[in-house]
Structure formats: structure tokens, C-alpha cells
Chain A
Amino acid sequence: MRQTGPSHARLVSKMLLLVVGMFAFGFAMVPIYEKFCEVTGFNGFVSTQAAEGPVIGEGSDRKVTVEFVSTVNERHPWNFRAVESRMEVSPGELYTAYFTVENAREGAGVTQIVPSVAPGNAGRYLKKTECFCFTEQRFEPGETRELPVTFFIDPALPERTGTVTLSYTLFDISAGDEPEFDTEDAGLHAGAGQ
């Protein structure tokens, strides 16, 4: 016989190792991608971690327009909009912009507001030192709140970028906000205190 069992065993184990490795690689792509986006600003990446304070401005008279856009995902009953739709800012200086959120649900609700920046590669130059998007927000029924985001534009922002759009999407992540089907209980919103 030409080949003996053990040589199969070795080859097969190597191949299985490759299989396991590639399966793990699939999952590893998640952090790799995140890191990659962070470094390159891929896909409108914008950090949801607080940034360090600004470096002191270098005194240039450059102005950048920061534009604020809001979306409510899946048309949940929330009102969400930027107080000011745009701001002229000097790179390197701190600014605060406000968004109002109104809970128009029947009960209390929890939101996660997710940022995204256009153009994509500007994401890493827009640094937020404080943002309502870092954490979940809870709202009582009918409650309206103004939420601040404090940010600065990194002076390293490429010259050709004159406008940075900061887009927020509000996701309703309240537990049990949808009615149970076929429950005898007529109360519609399990998790909602009413």
C-alpha cells in the first residue's frame, strides 16, 4: 500500500485546523472591521466612545459646516430633530449642539441613538467628548428632552471637506413595546408602565 493512515490523519488535522481557523476568522472580522473603520472612516464610522479634549486650535480662520440630520427608525412614535440644522465651526474648538426627543408612545420608552457621518472619511475627524449616543436613553410617557452633543472638529480634517454631516438614527429598543398576540390580557404594552 502506498500511503498509510497516519499521513491522512496529519493532513486531515491540518485541514480541520484551517476550517476552525477560518470559522474564527469570520468572527474576527467583526473587530478587524471595526478597527479598520475607525482607522479609515469606512462606512461613515463614528466613534461611540468619548474623545479626548481638543488640541488647542491653531488659529486658522478655516470654517467647517457641521450639519445635523435625524431619522427615527421604523417610524416608531418618537419625535426627534436637531434644534439647529447646521453650525459653522472652527476646527479645534468645542461646540455643543442639541437635539430634541419626544416620546410619543403610550408608555415609557428606551432609545438608542446611533450616529453616522458623511462623508465617510470625515467620521474620524468629528470627535465627540460628550454625546447622548454613548448610552441608552429612557423617556417617560410624553416626556420631551433636549439632548446635547459636545464635539470638535479635528483640524486635520482634509481641506476639501467643507461640510460634515452628523446623522443620528433613533432606534426604539424598549422591551415589550409590541403587543402580544393571543394573550388574554388586554394590556397592550407589557413593559410600559401605564
Chain B
Amino acid sequence: MSATSHDTHHDDHHDHGPPPGITRWLFTTNHKDLGVLYMVFALIMFFVGGAMAMVIRAELFQPGLNLVDPHFFNQMTTMHALVMIFGAVMPAFTGLANWLVPIQIGAPDMALPRVNNWAFWLLPAGFVLLLLTLFLPGGAPAGGWTMYPPLILQLGDAFPFLIFAVHILGISSIMGSINIVATILNLRAPGMTLMKMPLFVWAWLITAFLIVAVMPVLAGAVTMLLTDQYFGTSFFNAAGGGDPVLFQHIFWFFGHPEVYILILPAFGIVSAIIPTFARKPLFGYSSMVYATASIAFLSFIVWGHHMFSVGMPLSGQLFFMYATMLVAVPTGVKIFNWMATMWQGSMTFETPMLFAIAFVILFTIGGLSGVMLALAPVDLQYHDTYFVVAHFHYVLVTGAIFSIMAAVYYWLPKWTGNMYDERLGQWHFWLSTISVNVLFFPQHFLGLAGMPRRIPDYALQFTDFNMISSIGGFVFGLSQLIFVWVIIKCVRGGEKASDQVWEGAKGLEWTLPSPAPYHTFEQPPVVK
């Protein structure tokens, strides 16, 4: 990936330019270089995970075993989730944070540049371990990304690889997050008070705290799996007085905040883009901040909604149901605020704005199905069906990933100094948006009609919607090649971007030249 990212850079700064050659990328402590590395890594992983999704959709194109063994299918669903969550979405957000947080708060670099380098290079190491398992006897992890015991303990040689990969990825994201927190709290330019920070910075501050708080819990949970497997402990083994459901509690205590780790930065991105293209200030800045913080808080007390069917007592079910329903309130506030920002604005619809509007609409669909899923009694029907699959893909693909794409289009001119190809961008947007709905919308129907998730083959009545969904999947997959092409094209040249790039753009990063020099804000700007 170093080779690829090498190409993506441009060497037009004379003063504090980067050292030449591969060592620049290996040893860099520059936040912009690391941002690029993170994002290129994320893009590669997006295609690796995407390829797995294509295998899944191809197998499900029609009933019968068409391509792969069910065991391999399970490996694909498991690895697809792990790769997309830990390899694509989280690193992409971290990369954006690396590039943007310092220049949005007027800092010269991240607070801990060497830690930053380490945090990044742990990622490829972790993924080498994880992807290697595909070639091990017994195959890759196939028990679902949730790693529930006792099933996960049936995994063959891949088991320790999985555990250590999770540890390494956890350490990487914890290091990255501590760095972000330190940068935001310690390196703001004079006058950049907390409540003046761009929402992307706010969102990341909160996200970073979530990561630091829950990643260690995941590390603890998988460590217990490891000792159960090899050292005779019985944390989750009923025979030794343990309880497999305990793992689910610990996992989801991590897992639910993790879900918000994957979406809060998206809120920040969209809150930057919509005001720019509506040419109107963000509506309700402070309520946005409070809403983000309350969502983060609530995320710690709703984990039980992933487990309504395990046999919790009534009081537990009701508690988790009420707490989960409450999440809708701050989330609703955000959506209404974005609407109000557009209201009486003066909108134009460049690609970033299109992705941002699609984000608001499609994320809302995911949010509304989330309200349905929150209700414990009906969740006993929805749970572990394609309805849930549709729900979280609306939140994660048209939510998180659309926001990342919006962000790339939005800041690409600042990074490269060139405008991207707007016509190709529009093509990418429309193809993606239409196909992603063809892909995931019918999955709501499949789930309600009774199709469980994580099955390699299905009963005949599910054929039609699966076929439609698969076709949507293939088109969506192919459409992403346009995205890569747009990026490559933009890196290599194109119409020169102005410093402000977008007419309505506000914020420190737009006061910098395009492309942003290798070193920025060595003298802190003064924020009034």
C-alpha cells in the first residue's frame, strides 16, 4: 500500500517538503502523510471487504449451493464484517481525523506524532494476521464477527490469530484515539474554545473517548476467550460454572458504543458539508454537541437490545427497551437540525452535498427501522433476520461510508490542490445511491418474511428479493471503481482549486493554500 500511496502524493512544496522515497511513508510522523496512509489503507480494505460481500451476494443470487461451501460462506460473512468495521470504516475516520483535526483547530501537527506512526503501522500488521487465517487449515473465523462462544471455540488454527489481530487493532485504535484527544484538548489555536470547534472535531473528541473506554473491554473479552480455549478457565463455559451469555454482555458492552464509534464522526462530516452548500450556518450548533454527547452516553446502557432473545428477565428487557428508544431523541434532534440548516438556505448540489443529503435521508431510514428494532417484543421477530441486516447496512453503508465519501469529495481539493472530476463524481453518486437501495431495501422485506441472517442458502420464496439484492450489490460494488478513478484522476491533476474551494466553506482549513502545505499552522492562527 505504500507504493500506491506514494503515487497519491504530490511534491510541490519547497520549504518543508517531505523526505523522498519509501522511507517517507514508513517513518513519517506528519499528520497529513499518516492521514493519507490511513485512508489508502481503508480504501484497500474497503475493496477486500467488498470482494467478500460480492462472494456472499453471488452465493445468495439464487437458491442452492452455487459457488462456495457453507463453511466458507460463514468465513466470508465473518471476515466481511471484521474487515469493514476495523479495516475500512474506523481507519477511514481516523485518517480523516489525522488530516483534518490539526488544520481545523490550528495545530501544527498531532500531539504525539511518533505514536501516530505506530498506531497506523499496527493496522496492516493486524490485518496480515487476520487475513492470513483464510489460508490456515480450518479456514478463517466463521462464527460471526461477534465471536460468540461456544461456537467460536470450534474454530481451528485461526483462533489465536483472530484474538491477537483483535488485540493489535484495538491497541492501534486506542493509540490513535489518545492522540486525537491530546491534540484536541492541548493543541487548539488561541481563541479556539471548545464551543467554537468544528463539529467534526467535537464528534471525534467524543468518539475517541468512546474508543478508549470500550476497546479495552473488547480486549478483555477476547482474552477471556483465549484463556478459556487454552488455559482451562471457564469464563464462558457452563461446565466450569461460566456462562456463554456473559460473553454477549461483555461483547455488546463494547459493541454498542462501537456502533456509535462508526457513526458519530459521520455526523461531524455532514454537519460540515451541509452548511457549506446551503450557504447558511449550521442550525443549533450547541444542541448538536449535546446531542452527540447524549448519544455517546446512552450507548453505554443499551447493549442489552442485541440480546432480547437470550432469556433476560422482564425487567432487563424493559430497561434496555426504554433506554434504546431514548436514543431516538438526540438522533432526531440532529436530523431536524440538518433539515433546518437547509431550510431557507441557498443550495447547490456538488457531489459532497449529494452524498450528505443522501446520508441524511438514508441514515434516517436506518434510524427509523432502529426505532422498530428497539421494541423488545417485536424484536423477538426481527432479531437475527435480514431486517436487522438491512437496518445496520443502512446505518453503516449509506450512513458511515456515504459520509466518508462525502468527506473525500469535500476535502479532496484541499488535499490535492486540484478539483475532482464533477461529472464522474455525479455518476458515482447516482449509481451508488440507486444501487445501494436496490441492494439493501429488499432485505427489509426478506427479514420480515422470515429469512434469517448468516445463511448460505434459503427457501424458495426468498428468491426474488435476493436476486434483486444481489444485482444491486454487484452494481454498487462496480460503482466504487469510479470512486477510485476519481481520486486517482484528481491526485494526478485537474483544474486548480482555490484556497476556499467552496463558496460557502468556513473554517480554518479553508484559509490554507490548496493543496495544504506539508507543514501548516507552525505559527498558530488567532481565532476570534
Q: Is A11 in the interface zone, CB < 8 Å from B?
A: yes
Contact B250 A112 (CB under 8 A): no
Q: Are B220 and A23 closer than 8 Å at their CB atoms?
A: yes
Cα distance A114–B190 in the bound complex, in angstroms? 63
Main secondary structure of the interface of B (DSSP, over half): helix
Q: Which residue of B lies closest to A121 (CB)?
A: B313
Q: Is B235 touching A19 in the complex (CB atoms < 8 A)? A: no
B147 an interface residue at 8 Å Cβ cutoff?
no
User: Which residues of the partner chain A approach B111 to less than 8 Å between Cβ atoms?
Assistant: 3, 8
Of all chain A residues, which has the CB nearest B111? A8
B486 beta carbon closer than 8 Å to chain A: no
Residues B239 and A40 in contact, CB atoms below 8 Å apart: no
Cross-chain contact of B239 among A27, A29, A112 (Cβ < 8 A):
A112
In Å, the complex CA distance between A2 and B245 comes to 50
Instruction: Give every chain A residue within 8 A of B187 (Cβ-Cβ).
Output: 2-3
Q: Which residue of B lies closest to A23 (CB)?
A: B216
Mark contacts of A99-133 with chain B using CB atoms, 8 A cut-off: 1 yes-contact digit, 0 otherwise.
Answer: 00000000000001010000011000000000000
Contact bitstring B219-249, A, C-beta under 8 A = 1, else 0: 1110010000000000100111101011001
Residues of A with C-beta under 8 A to B249: 29, 33
B315 at the interface (CB under 8 A from A): yes
| Pair A18/B312 contact, Cβ less than 8 Å | no
Instruction: Give Cα A22–Cα B314 distance, bound, in whole angstroms.
Output: 28
Total of A-B residue pairs, C-beta within 8 Å? 102
**Known contacts A22-B212, A114-B238, A11 near B186 by CB under 8 Å:** yes
Question: What residues of B have a CB within 8 angstroms of the CB of A92 in the complex?
Answer: none
> Contacts A26-B219, A27-B224 hold; do A33 and B186 have CB atoms under 8 A apart?
no
Separation of A43 and B216 alpha carbons in the complex (Å):
25
Q: Does B524 contact A (CB under 8 A)?
A: yes
Q: Chain B 303-341, CB within 8 Å of chain A: the 1/0 string?
A: 000000011111110000000000000000000000000
Q: Which residues of B contact A40 (CB under 8 A)?
A: 313, 315-316
A20 touches B239 (CB 8 A): no
A83 at the interface (CB under 8 A from B): no
* Given known contacts A2-B187, A8-B182, A19-B212, A29 and B246 CB-to-CB distance under 8 angstroms: yes
From residue 137 to 191 of chain B, which have CB atoms closer than 8 A to chain A? 174, 178, 181-182, 185-187, 189-190
User: Do B238 and A7 touch (CB < 8 A)?
Assistant: no
| A11 and B182 in contact, given A22-B213, A23-B220, A120-B313 (Cβ under 8 angstroms) | yes
How far, in whole Å, are A48 and B178 apart by their CA atoms in the complex? 43
Among residues 19 to 43 in chain A, which have CB atoms less than 8 Å away from a CB atom of chain B? 19-27, 29-30, 33, 37, 40-43
CB-based contact A169/B238 at 8 Å: yes
Q: Is the CB of B241 within 8 A of A48?
A: yes
Q: How many residues does chain B have at the interface if contact means C-beta atoms less than 8 Å apart?
A: 41
A51 interfacial by beta-carbon distance below 8 Å: no
Given contacts A19-B216, A112-B240, whether A2 and B190 have CB atoms under 8 Å apart is yes
Which A residue's beta carbon lies closest to that of B240?
A112
Tell me the bound Cα distance from A73 to B150 in angstroms.
12
Q: In the complex, A15→B214 CA distance in Å?
A: 12
Q: How far is the CB of B219 from chain A (nearest CB, A)?
A: 6
Given the known A-B contacts A112-B239, A120-B313, are A18 and B245 also in contact in the complex, defined by CB atoms under 8 Å? no
Beyond A2-B190, A42-B313, whether A171 also contacts B182 by CB under 8 A is no
Tell me if A29 and B253 are in contact (CB < 8 A): yes
A43 to B186, CA, bound (A): 46
Complex interface: chain B residues within 8 A of A15 (CB): 178, 181-182, 212
Q: Judge if B197 is at the interface, Cβ distance under 8 Å.
A: no
Q: Is B112's beta carbon under 8 Å from chain A?
A: yes
**B212–A43 CB distance below 8 A:** no
A3: chain B residues at CB < 8 Å are 111, 186-187
A16 at the interface (CB under 8 A from B): yes
A30 to chain B, nearest CB (A): 6
Residues of B within 8 A of A43 (CB): 243, 245, 310-312
Q: Does A55 contact B (CB under 8 A)?
A: no
Nearest chain A residue, comparing its CB with the CB of B254: A26
Any chain B CB within 8 A of the CB of A50?
A: no
Q: Is the CB of A41 within 8 A of B241?
A: no
B217 within 8 A of A: yes
Chain B residues within 8 Å of A25, by CB: 216-217, 220
25 contacts between A and B (CB under 8 A): A2-B187, A2-B524, A3-B186, A3-B187, A15-B178, A15-B182, A20-B216, A22-B217, A23-B219, A25-B217, A25-B220, A26-B217, A26-B218, A27-B220, A29-B246, A29-B249, A30-B224, A33-B243, A40-B313, A42-B313, A43-B310, A43-B312, A73-B238, A114-B238, A114-B241
- Residue ranges of A at the interface with B (Cβ–Cβ < 8 Å): 2-3, 7-8, 11-12, 15-16, 18-27, 29-30, 33, 37, 40-44, 48, 73, 112, 114, 120-121, 169, 171, 173
